[in-house]
Amino acid sequence: MEFSWNKLKNELVIRAPGILKIISAIVSDIPSSLTDNRLRHVLQSAVIAFHGRSREMSTLQYIVCMIQAHGGCTNRDIERLVKIGLSVHPSTLRSKLASWQENLDSAITELKEKWQNGESGPKYQLVGDNWDKNIVPSYRTTQQKTVSIHLFNVIAVEDRITPIIEIPPEIKSPDHMTTEDFIPSIQDQLLLRKELTFIIGNAVVANLPQLNMFSKIYPKHFPHKYSDVVGRRTNQYPLGLFDCNETKNTDVIRLLQDLSKKYVPYSDEKFTISDFHCRDRLTDERVQSAQEAMANADNPFDRLEGFISKVEDWHRLMNFLEAICKLTFSTSSAQDRGTAYYYRNLLNARNVKHEVKNSYRAYKHLYYTIFDAICCIFFLKQFNLTSYEDPIPFPPKFAELKNVEKIEWVNSVIEMLWTNGFLKKQRTLYKRLGMS
């Protein structure tokens, strides 16, 4: 459904110019522009009148009903709007949405056919997670029991960056790699130093009052090869809810078979390329168990080889933070200065409690605060300062420097921090082995 006030006005100008002029004259003697709310009142009045004449003229009423349903409005309230012609009935909206279900994946099936035929174009991934709900009756009896609903929600996410299908010749295959290829080289260390310099630079600029003048000139994003692409809006396509209880292996196998048949390129009894299926850690383990259960099947389709299971980005971050907390966070260290739990009490972060998965944002904010404080302390230590109120010795005529030169000065101080604090002797494994 596509709707715009401009299209509605043009349609009324062509098909019902007299009615439009009469209603416009009632509202105002001055012709209104599209940006004026009075024009929308005119169009709304005309739409209600035409809806009373013919129930088929109900596009705007459908939109109003969608807005009300999405905002949590009850069916009784929507039915009140139906009586005055502002909305369609909730059951009518449900029927309309059900009729659209067959077209939910039309865009993805087109991408799949292009992918399967080897044509150039964007690729996609499937993101899914379980949706469980228990419906408790008002009065529990032998006939009226708690109803448990187990569904699986799947969304297709279009890749903003088209992956490379063929491996370039300069990239070695795993069979020809040696141990040296997995050791970080000098170039890898330089890239890592640039990234850490950028992260620490944003930390000190945001938290040291004397560096607030850099807040408008210091870059907020680290430039890389795909900087222009990742800023685009992600195209997502909801594929609907599937009847699947992920605690049952047979249901997961049936779900993967259905998704493979519909959305994974498959020709000549083999998959053109495996599709990524993203989920949380628990669902990822269950999908891998389903693939292991079908490992002895006759063909790739039955072996469920069309999916490469992975944990979604947000869940990976939460798992990583959970591992950090297991190593550094303990309630028994409340009296030990410098520990994470000591700073939790010092900052009065009472929302940092229980497990990480239940208080992810609180734990993340605590560790970000500790990290920012460490960065500021090391930055001030470069100038032998012990308080953030002590003046930082800027270079002579610093205010006259260009913005690029000011940023270079901040980065140079941070790089010296790394050189003196972490890479003082620069005895890397590569230099010991005499490798470049």
pLDDT, tens only, 309-365? 888 878 888 889 999 999 999 999 988 988 999 999 999 999 999 899 889 999 999
With a pLDDT cut of 70, the percent of the chain lying above it is 92
Q: What per-residue confidence (pLDDT) applies to 425?
A: 52
Q: What per-residue confidence (pLDDT) applies to 426?
A: 53
Any idea which residue has 């349903």 for tokens? 69
Q: Residue 171 domain-assigned?
A: no
95 and 116 assigned to the same domain: no
With bands split at pLDDT 50, 70 and 90, how would you rate the model's confidence at 198?
very high
246 and 129 assigned to the same domain: yes
Q: What per-residue confidence (pLDDT) applies to 284?
A: 85
Q: What is the mean pLDDT of residues 415-423?
A: 74
Q: What per-residue confidence (pLDDT) applies to 31?
A: 65
Q: What is the mean pLDDT of residues 34-48?
A: 80
CA-based nearest residue to 378, from 347, 413, 424: 413
User: Residue 138 pLDDT more than 80?
Assistant: no
The three-state secondary structure class of 97 is helix
Q: Residue 263 domain-assigned?
A: yes
Q: What per-residue confidence (pLDDT) applies to 137?
A: 81
User: Residue 164 pLDDT more than 80?
Assistant: no
pLDDT, tens only, 49-105? 888 888 777 888 898 898 988 888 899 999 998 888 888 999 998 898 888 877 878
> What does each C-alpha distance from 304 to 123, 127, 252, 274, 337 come to in angstroms?
19, 17, 11, 10, 52
CA-based nearest residue to 263, from 271, 379, 319, 137: 271
Domain stop point among 296, 311, 326: 311
Q: What is the mean pLDDT of residues 259-288?
A: 80
Among 32-36, 374-378, 387-391, name the most confident range: 374-378
280 and 146 assigned to the same domain: yes
Domain stop point among 254, 277, 311: 311
Q: What is the mean pLDDT of residues 248-267?
A: 90
User: Residue 392 pLDDT more than 60?
Assistant: yes
Q: What is the mean pLDDT of residues 411-435?
A: 67
19 and 97 assigned to the same domain: yes
| Domain count across the chain | 2
Amino acid at 95: S
Q: Residue 21 domain-assigned?
A: yes
**What does the angle CA 305 – CA 163 – CA 115 come to, to the nearest 5 degrees?**
60
- DSSP code string of 162-220: PPPSSPPTTSPPGGG--GGGGS--HHHHHHHHHHHHHHHHHHHHHH-GGGGGGTTTS-S
Q: What size, in residues, is the chain?
A: 436
Q: Residue 250 domain-assigned?
A: yes
140 and 16 assigned to the same domain: no
Are 28 and 38 in contact by the 8 Å Cβ rule? The answer is yes
Range of the domain at 43: 5-101
Amino acid at 259: L
153 and 290 assigned to the same domain: yes
> Rounded distance, CA 328 to CA 343, Å?
12
Give the β-pairing of 147-158 and 236-243.
Answer: antiparallel
**355 phi-psi bin (left φ>0, alpha ψ -120 to 50, beta other):** beta
Q: What per-residue confidence (pLDDT) applies to 33?
A: 59
- DSSP code string of 368-424: HHHHHHHHHHHHHHTTT--STTSPP-PPTTGGGS-HHHHHHHHHHHHHHHHHHHTSS
Domain stop point among 311, 346, 375: 311
DSSP lists the bridge partners of residue 259 as none
User: Residue 436 pLDDT more than 50?
Assistant: no
24 and 91 assigned to the same domain: yes
User: Residue 140 pLDDT more than 80?
Assistant: no
Q: What per-residue confidence (pLDDT) applies to 154?
A: 92
